Structures are given as structure tokens and as C-alpha cells.
Chain A
Amino acid sequence: MKKLHIVGIVIIAVAIGVIFVSLKNTSTYADFTEAISNPEKEYHVVGKLDKTQPQIYDPKLNADQFMFTLIDNKGVSKQVVLHKSKPQDFEKSEQIVLIGKIQGNEFHANDILMKCPSKYNDGKPQID
């Protein structure tokens, strides 16, 4: 089964290759401080919405731009420019994950994931 041995070696090589290449290029979870120190790299920043700061969404100006302030898990807050329209249920989000990078004084995100408490297990029994 010599041919199959060669195939096996190729498969193992590909598998190892995938692990190395993907770990090298993959984005990591981080806070703003880390994202600032490396503005070229894309990061996933986890945090909470700062409700005291204004949220700017003017679809007449640009329907795909939404600005708000996020406080990361270390407590650092930063102006965020999300390059998408304002998500539904945004205010209700409990936790936000932003995918993007720092440019200038702002964090530019191309994607957002929200964890809403309401999504699956909110709401308590009530009696009419």
C-alpha cells in the first residue's frame, strides 16, 4: 500500500499546514489597548455599550454607518464606527463583540455580534 502511504503523508502535511497557517492569520479576542498597539491587525473586541454617550445613526447621510461608544472588558471606552446599519435590538444588547481594527482615534468595525438577554431565556412568568 505504498501509494496510500504517500497519500497519508500528504494528508498529515495538509492538516499541519492548516493549523499553522490559520493560527498565524487568525484574529484574536482582545481589548482596545491591544488593538491600539497593533492598528494593522483585525481584532475581536468584547465589551458593553456605553449608554451615557450619544449614538449617531443618520441613514440619510449614510445608511451603513453607525457610531457609538463601547467600554471594553478592561473598562477602556472608545468611539466605534460600525460600517453597517444600526442593528435591531441594539440597545437591549448585554454584550457586544466587534470585529475590526483601530484607525486614528476610532475603532472601525465591519461586523458586530450581540448577545441579547432576551434572545432565549429572558422573561419571567406573569399573572394577568
Chain B
Amino acid sequence: MNEIQYIAERLWAGHLGNAFVVLSFVSSLLAFISYYLSANNASFQKLARLAFNVHGLSVIGIIATLFYMLLNHYFEYQYVWQHSNSTMDMKYILSCFWEGQEGSFLLWTFWNVVLGMILKRQLKNGDWEIPVMTVFSLVQVFLASMLLGVYFFDYKIGTNPFLLLRDHAEFSNLPFLQKEGFVPIKLDGRGLNPLLMNYWMTIHPPTLFLGFASTLVPFAFAIGALWNKKYNDWQKIALPWTYFCIMILGIGILMGGAWAYEALSFGGFWAWDPVENSSLVPWLVIVAAGHTMIINKNKGGSLFTTHFLAIGSFLLVLYSTFLTRSGVLGNASVHAFTDLGMTGQLVLYVLTFIFITVALLINDKLFKVSYIVVSLLLLFFGMLYGYKKVLLMVWLGSSGIITFISYYLYFPKEKDEEELFSREFWMFLGSLVFLLSGLIITYFTSIPVINKLFNTEFAPPKVHVYNTWMMPFAILIMLLIAASQFLKYKKTNPKKFLKRVSYSFILALLFGLACSIPLYFMTSPENKGIDNWDLISYSILFITGLFAVFANLDYFIIVLKGKVSKSGAAIAHIGFAMVLIGALISTSKKVTLAKNTEDKKLTSLGKDFDDRESILLTQGDTLPMGPYLVTYKGKKRIGINIYFTVDYFKLNKDNKPEYDFSLEPHIQENPKTGQQSAEPDTKHYLDRDIYTHITAADLNIDTTTKKKDAFTSAKNYVGHVGDTIFSSNALVIIDSLRSNLSREQYEKNDSVLEVTAVLRCVNTQGKNFFAHPKFIIQNNVVIPKEDVLEDLGLKFVFWKINPDDGTVEITMSEKLANNKDFIVMKAFVFPFINVLWLGCLIMAFGTGIAIVERIRKFKVQL
């Protein structure tokens, strides 16, 4: 068989890309091995550094090649074809890059390289370069392998972004791809998912992945510490990095919320979706780790917890990678990646790092060797004979037990007990609260995994389950944030402390009660599912949130004397409290504006079945909606978007509607996939947002106005004076008949008889319109004269009088446009949502100050 000749395929790009892929894998492996060896033999260190640099360059090479291919539309490549097309706006090219798994792995790898390069410089020739960079290189080995796309016996390792379309398993059998003389220039890509065509999608993924990548820094130090048994040295170097991670990951998560709020129509900024949860949990744990590290730095101790949390945060990032990319979530998530057949590899990745952690914790040679041998035996047994689930559970269980045995046997422990009135005790408690809330969210999110492991059929919990469970944690955290600032390390005078915090507590209590009583107890709740316990918990969270804000403000102004550079923690805590207050108010006081007026409701089904959230708007009609009057004006198509213009009016002093603003929620249609997605439009005010999205609409647009002016075929009606005819938009009453002549006059003369039918048309608003079709007889010939009511789009022809029974016959036809277009829309008010976004900025600012301050202190110490 002759080889098929392909014309104009730009194969060089794929070859170049693949060369970089292989190079990045080999160089990371080399860097890992030589860094590992240089722990005992310094001569390897040079090679290790060189290998890591080569790795960094080859990662940049992969990115540059893929980017070049996307930019120049090399659609013969599967990744380019799948994620972009030739007509798209080039400003979304970055979104194309990381839409797929391969691209987002690349993004992660890239940030790891950047962080690794900076750390390598910072730690050069110090004690920590070798252990930290060994861990970094090992992680890079795993990440680089994710792009290999080779088969190792039956196991597929990685998916390759440089695969040709004709080599792709799904498409290789397409005849034209295998035909002689196939020219890829004629091909067009499938295009980007329209949901991702949003500016948030250009900045959210890189920020989030930088956050994920930076959890590697404390992890690398902690693993290095276990390896070298130097448990106390690394915290001060890693602390600014940990703060950096808290800041970036926090911003990244809230950016995801902002994207969801702006571009997705699930009606809010947070939905406890598994994808959101799995980025939140590592953040909660890294925040906990950051706090135990401060305790350790200022007072010593908390060693095991610090290591546990620093390692745990990174392991949870790995676990979330597994959750969102293995397809295990299945029906549970709206926006997980699809399964690329890498489940096994991802599981192995997570397990390897758990294994390394536990193995390093064991400080006894025999114990350690037997753990390693047994683990490997279990792995091979599982691969060869099955029973993977049972073996996995046995291994995880025993690894957990070994972790705690090693803690008791080998880990340095505190001698004396912490004081009750000491900052470290309550800060430590706060860290545990964060950890526990993270574990609970992980447990809920992992229900699909639990189903797989235990063959159960549990459904993932709903949003309110998360909200209910997280409420006490939020309250506890607010109390801790408020109080612990005023506690000193080691020992505090309880009386002074209580006096100090009582000011802000009393202020928060008074202000909080004054707000929350009218807010929650004097208005009937919007959502019928909310009971008194919920309302009480909202009020408590509101008051404690205020307490946290006031106490930290007090601390910032009185104790720190407003010195910003020292106040990173106080400012960040104010920001965090504001995020929670904003989330609380905007969610619990969310008002549904668009209420269905229909009263037929199945109340017996209970609170979850409140089907009055949407409103039907017919084009041109004006309906009351909350404090507004709304009109659906019409729709227009711009590119792949269909915009629906809705005007909002407010009643002015004279009770007359006055134009306020317009919103244009739209529906996006991906021409390649036929997928439709509703995107909201929001009117932003300082104190509230009015958020709308379309839930149902006719997407066809009649561009020919001619057609709209055309009339339907006429219908004949026979009736007496006083009878009513129904049109689609009005009642038509035959009011009276007027004649220009009496019967006698007509019979005498040969003149013209003109009979006018007076038709009173009452529209849906009760307004009267009059039509006057005429029945004219001239020379015994009937010449009807039609009348058209433009306002109602109705045409009447009066064409017959039946003298026998006194009935008249009138035909009526309606304009096609009378079958008016309609939309079904949802509209909510989110009050004070800006408190949340402002809180986010303040938190990021405070954390930023803390980073700068830590770096300064660290440099002073050197």
C-alpha cells in the first residue's frame, strides 16, 4: 500500500511541538534525578539547574508552538480544530488555548516553571534549594507526562495537543481526511464554546492556575522538611509565598464567581458546583496553613499541623484535578472537563504524592522500607488481578493510620499547653475550623466518588445543604477573626482583652440588630423554604460579620495607629468579613422581581416547587414587575447572539411611567455545535444589582418587515348589532349600523347607498378603538370599502347585509405581526452585592501588604 500524500499540511509545527513535549519530559526527569542525587553529591547540582532551565524553555516552546498554530489556524491539528475557528474574534484566542485539558495543564506547568525559576534564584546555594527543587522537578515530571500521549503497554499516558486530526482516534476514519490530496486550508475549526467568549475567561484561568501552582511552594518546603528532618526552618521563607497563594487563589476563585455571575444563567455568583468547590477547598486549607505558619514563626510549635496543612492543600489541588478531569463527576457538574481517558493516570498522580508524604514521615528504616514494599506490592497486585477499589481503600486507610502513628513516634511535640487567652490558641482553632469546613465540602463534593467506591446511589447535595452546613463555620470564623486580633501571643490579660473587644461587639450588636430585625423579621421572606432558624442564623452571621469588621477596624486604627504597612492582616480580615456579609445579604435578600401571576400552584408539593420565578413578556405589552413597569421591545441578532431588549420604567411622582433603563439579556448560539446558552444582563447600582436572563424565547428573527405587514386570510363573521367577534388582541363589538339614506329614499332614487358598520374594538388594556367599514351599493353593484385599524393590526370588510334576518357579514383579518413575539424572563435583585466584590479587593490588598511586610522582615533577618 502506498502512503497517502497530503498536500500543504504544516507538519513541521507538530514535529516541533512534539520535540518540545519530549524534551520537557526528559529534562524534568533529569532535573528530578540530578537534584535528588545532589543532596549527597554536590557535583550533580549544576546539571540539575541546567536540566530545570532546559525544562522551562521547552515548556515555553510548547506554549509558543501551540499558540502559533492557533493564531494561524492550523486546523489539521485536532486541538486547534476543536477549540478555535477562523471566524472567531482573536481576542478570545487565549481562551481557546486553555479551553481544553491539554492547554490548561500547560498553563499549570507554565506557572510551576515560573515559580520554580524564581525559587531557584531565591534559594540558590542555600539549604533549601535541593529539597524544594527536587519536589518541583518531580511535580513537573508528572505534569509533563500529561502531554505525552503515548501508550505504555495498555495504559495511555497523557493526551498530546499536537495530534493531527487524521491521527485522532475519533476522526481518523473520516474519508476525506484520508483522501489523496487533502488540503487542510479548506477546513474550519469547531470553535470555542460561546460561554467562554468572555473577558473573564481570559483572566480567570491564568489567575486560578497561578493560585493552584503556588500551593506547590509550601508543599515543596514541607516535603523537603520531612526529607531533611528540618521542621522549623522553612516557615519564614515560605510564609510570603503562602500569603501570595492565599491572595491569588482567592482572587482566582472570586473571578470565577464573577464570570458565573456575568455570563452564566444559574442566577448568582456561587452555586457550590463541584468545580467551584474543588478550588475553594485548597484555598481554605492553605489559609489554615498560613495561620499555623504564623503561629510557628512567632511562638514555635504547631509543627505537625503546619506540615499536614501545607501538604494537604497541594494534595487537594491534585484531588480536585482528578475530580474535575476524570469524568467521575458525570451528571453532578455542569462544567467539568470531559473524560480524556486519563483517570488512571490522575489517580496514580494523587496516590504517588500521598505515598511520598507518608513514606517520608516514617523515621524508621525498617518501617519505611516495609511501607514502600507493601505499597508497591499492592499496586502491582491491583494492576494485575483487580480488586482495585478494595486495595485502594485498604491502602488509604492504613496510610492514614501510619501518618498518625508516625506523628506520635517521630514528630517533635510541644511540651507545655497553650494558654486559653493566647492568640496562638484561637488562631490554631481557626485553622482547624477552616480545615474542617474544607473537609466537609470535600466530602459533599466527593459523593460521586463515594458512589463509585461503594456502589451506592447517593445524589449530590443541593445548594441549600451546603449553605446550611457552612453557616455555623462562617459564624465561628467571624468570631475568631474579630477576637483573636486583640489577643497577644503566649498570654493576655483576660480583663483587658474582654474590655477591648466589648466596644466593637456592642457596636456590632446594636447596629446588627437594628439592620437585621427589619431585614429578616419584619418582612415576609421571599423564599418560602426559609424558616425561623435560618433567619436567626442569618442575623447571627450578620452581627458577627460586623463584629469582625469593627474589631479589625478598631485594631487597625487604635492599636496599629492606622499604619497601613503593619495592617495587612487586619485589612485582609475586614475584606474577608465583607465578602461573607456581601454574600449573605445578596443571597438571603435576593428578590425575585419577575413573578408569574398565575395562581395555579401545587403548594402541596412543598417549598421546593415554587414555580413563580419567571415572567412572560409579550412584545409591546407593558407589565408591572416589582417596582418597575417592563416592556419587551424586540430582538435583534448580532453575530451569534440574539439580544432581547427590555425597557424598564418607573412611576414618577405623578404616577406616570418614566423610562429608567434598558437591559439586553441575550442568547448565544454556537453555529458549529448548535448549542444555545442564555447570558444574563445586569443593571448595576451602588447598593444593588438588577439581574435578568431569558429562560425561553423564539430565536427566529423575521427580517422582512413586509411579511409582518401582511394580513392573515380573512375570516367571515355573521352577526347582529351587539354581537362580539374575538380577535387575538381585542374584542370587536358590532356597535351600530349607519346608513346615508333611508330605505324609502334608496328605493325611490337610483342613488348610492352607503351603510357604515361602527365596530368598537376593545384592546386588552380596555382602550376603545373604532373601525368604520362601509357597505356601498351603486347601480346594484356592491362595492365594500374596507377599514384598517393600524393600532390593532385589524382589517375589516363589510360585504353583505342579509335583509331577511337582519344579520350582517363582516370579514376580519389580522396582521401577521399580531401573533406577537414573547420572551420568558427571570429577574432578580441582588442587594449589596458590591460589598462582596469590594471585600474581595480589600482582602487582596490586605494580603498584598502582608506579603510585602513579610518579605521586608525576612530580608532584615538575613
Contact = CB atoms under 8 A, between A and B. Distances in A.
Interface string B641-676: 000000000000000000000000001001011111
Nearest to B472: A14
Interface in B280-294: none
B459 A86 contact: no
Contact of B425 (A3, A83, A97): A3
A62 B417 contact: no
A120 B459 contact: no
Contacts of A111: 462
Interface residues of A, number: 61
Interface stretch (B183-191, B494-502, B755-763, B807-815): B183-191
B436 A110 contact: no
B459 A28 contact: yes
A118 B674 contact: yes
A118 B673 contact: yes
A39 B673 CA distance: 39
Contacts of A87: 695
B103 to A, nearest CB: 14
A124 B596 CA distance: 42
A91 B301 CA distance: 61
Contact of B418 (A3, A44, A63): A3
Contacts of B176: 127
Interface string B456-499: 11110110010001000000000000000000000000000000
A63 B615 contact: yes
B165 A125 contact: yes
A75 interface: no
Contacts of A14: 436
Which of A28, A83, A92, A111 has most B Cβ within 10 Å? Answer: A83
A125 B171 contact: yes
A18 B469 contact: yes
B98 to A, nearest CB: 14
A38 interface: no
A126 B177 CA distance: 9
A123 B672 contact: yes
Interface in A39-77: 42-44, 46, 57, 59-65
Contacts of A124: 171, 174
Which of A61, A63, A113 has most B Cβ within 10 Å? Answer: A63
Contacts of A15: 436, 439-440
A86 B611 CA distance: 12
A120 to B, nearest CB: 5
Given A63-B824, A92-B674, A110 B609 contact: yes
Given A103-B602, A116-B675, A128-B186, A26 B458 contact: yes
B611 A120 contact: no
Which of A88, A89, A125, A128 has most B Cβ within 10 Å? Answer: A125
Interface string A22-42: 110111111000000000001
Contact of A88 (B165, B612, B678): B678
Contacts of B188: 126, 128
B609 A11 contact: no
B786 interface: no
A116 to B, nearest CB: 7
Contact of A1 (B417, B609, B673): B417
B640 interface: no
A27 to B, nearest CB: 4
B420 interface: yes
Which of A4, A92, A100 has most B Cβ within 10 Å? Answer: A4
A64 B414 contact: no
A57 B414 contact: no
Given A57-B696, A125-B81, A2 B469 contact: no
A28 B458 contact: yes
A28 to B, nearest CB: 5
A80 interface: no
A29 B455 CA distance: 12
Interface string A77-115: 000000111111100100101011101000010110101
Nearest to A86: B696
B667 A88 contact: yes
A42 B459 CA distance: 10
B598 interface: yes
A126 B176 CA distance: 9
Interface in B418-436: 418, 420, 425, 428-429, 432, 436
A1 B414 contact: yes
Nearest to B605: A108
A89 B707 CA distance: 28
B418 A83 contact: no
Nearest to B334: A113
B627 to A, nearest CB: 20
A64 B612 contact: yes
B410 interface: no
A108 to B, nearest CB: 5
B675 A64 contact: no
Interface in B598-614: 598, 600, 602, 604-605, 608-614
B440 A97 contact: no
A61 B598 contact: yes
Given A4-B428, A99-B459, A120-B193, A63 B596 contact: yes
B111 interface: no
B471 to A, nearest CB: 13
Given A28-B457, A103-B604, A123 B673 contact: yes
A105 to B, nearest CB: 13
Contacts of B413: 1
Contacts of A99: 459, 462
A118 B195 CA distance: 13
B611 A62 contact: yes
Nearest to B678: A88
A26 B461 contact: yes
B160 interface: no
B322 interface: no
Nearest to B76: A125
A116 B624 CA distance: 36
Contacts of A43: 459
Given A88-B676, A125-B174, A44 B611 contact: no
A119 B187 contact: no
Contact of B616 (A11, A63, A83): A63
Contacts of A30: 457
B177 A64 contact: no
B428 A59 contact: no
Interface in B567-623: 596, 598, 600, 602, 604-605, 608-616
B187 A125 contact: yes
B235 interface: no
A127 B678 contact: no
Nearest to B608: A110
A59 B822 contact: yes
A42 B670 CA distance: 35
A92 B833 CA distance: 35
Given A3-B425, A29-B459, A64 B611 contact: yes
Given A1-B417, A88-B677, A44 B596 contact: no
B614 A1 contact: no
A22 B605 CA distance: 22
Contacts of B457: 28-30
Nearest to A12: B436
Given A28-B458, A85-B824, 4 more contacts: A15-B440, A18-B440, A22-B461, A64-B596
27 contacts: A11-B432, A18-B443, A22-B469, A26-B458, A26-B465, A28-B456, A28-B458, A59-B614, A60-B822, A62-B598, A63-B596, A63-B614, A64-B611, A64-B614, A83-B605, A86-B696, A87-B695, A89-B674, A97-B331, A103-B604, A108-B605, A110-B605, A111-B462, A113-B331, A118-B674, A119-B673, A125-B75
Q: Ordered nearest first, which 3 A-B pairs have the shortest CB separation?
A: A64-B611, A83-B611, A85-B695
Interface of A: 1-4, 7, 11, 14-15, 18-19, 22-23, 25-30, 42-44, 46, 57, 59-65, 83-89, 92, 95, 97, 99-101, 103, 108, 110-111, 113, 115-116, 118-128
